[in-house]
Amino acid sequence: MKHYSDIIYSPVITEKSMALRQNNVYTFKVAKSATKDEIKKAVEEAFKVNVKSVNTLNTKAKKRRVGRYTGTTKTYKKAIVTLQDGSTIDL
């Protein structure tokens, strides 16, 4: 089994993800090869909480421009983790 730090990279900090935290929903950047079961086990091991469900999505690259140079942002896999009632994560 992989260590949880190999699966969970960082929390996603956006306005939408911060609003979802009030409903026990947390968002993380995760490894592209990670499955929902692996993500669930990693979150439970790392934060000592009970996970209700895990939803995943692969983000798309967006075009960005800096001066005359154009490029794209990096893609990553995002996991939206819903915790059971009574569980919270202090980030």
Contact 34, 1 (CB under 8 A): no
Contact 47, 5 (CB under 8 A): no
Range of the domain at 17: 4-83
pLDDT digits (tens, 9 = 90+) for 10-52: 999 999 999 999 999 999 999 999 999 999 999 999 999 999 9
Give pLDDT, residue 90.
82
pTM value is 0.87
Torsion (CA) 86, 32, 56, 59 in degrees, nearest 10: 120
Share of the chain above pLDDT 90, in %: 87
pLDDT tier for residue 1 given thresholds of 50, 70 and 90: low
In a domain, 40, yes or no: yes
- The total number of structural domains in the chain stands at 1
CATH number of the domain bearing residue 21: 3.30.70.330
In a domain, 91, yes or no: no
